[in-house]
Structure 1
């Protein structure tokens, strides 16, 4: 083996532990939804719509009235605490209500060292909410969350991250 090749290999061995750190992703990574993600969210909405039509006679409308519908689902315990998929579907509907209230939000994929999640993020920032689990984490342990309170608290967090409105206007995320 030539001296040049041996030195080059030695240099690679010495540098490689340090260079691998340069190739680790910088978290969080925020990306657009894929077609698969959008399809998944649509199926989740349909799951809740079917549940609410069959059990309460109320469709999912995509507006603030859905908060009342979600509360009926919670209060009547229409979803068991071990039905993770349906519990998270309730969060998708909650997120859609948030989207109607705040145009600065958009669905994104948020990835960090813990994994990949669907999130509502403030446009052009890394500030995100995770509404898919806002109800499910509470319900999973047997709680009956106040859907409107969860909504208002989440929206207040978002509002605090947005620039002030002109003319001294304030953001109000009342659930009515």
Structure 2
């Protein structure tokens, strides 16, 4: 396995494990699904249970089973596509971006398999304006990974010349 893919796998594994640990703590230990809401630093930061059957902010919510398996398949296909793309990349930021996205996607896939929906619980608001949306560690990782790829993955992957060395850019 090339160094970029090793980095991707390491980052994705770390994100996945952090996401699983936080969701286990919130859903199973804290039992937020029964409690619904826990004020942490009210109104700035609270734990608010939300089950997301769609994608971000509940978009494309197709019901409990209609979209569940389609979204699982789509997430896995995107992960496979990103791995295929990343194997030709050499940048650390490429590996970080792809690893964050894959780790987050797999964390949310596990929720869809286990619970039928994604467990969202992090809620940030400001005084006087209650934010109705919640998210999780996986969502934050996916967002950050996408931003990193948009910023840093502009250069095409270096091509090898027929002699085996790196090809020079034409000016």
TM-score normalised by structure 2 residue count: 0.31
Compute the TM-score of the two structures, normalised by the length of structure 1. 0.30
Structure ID, larger Rg: 1
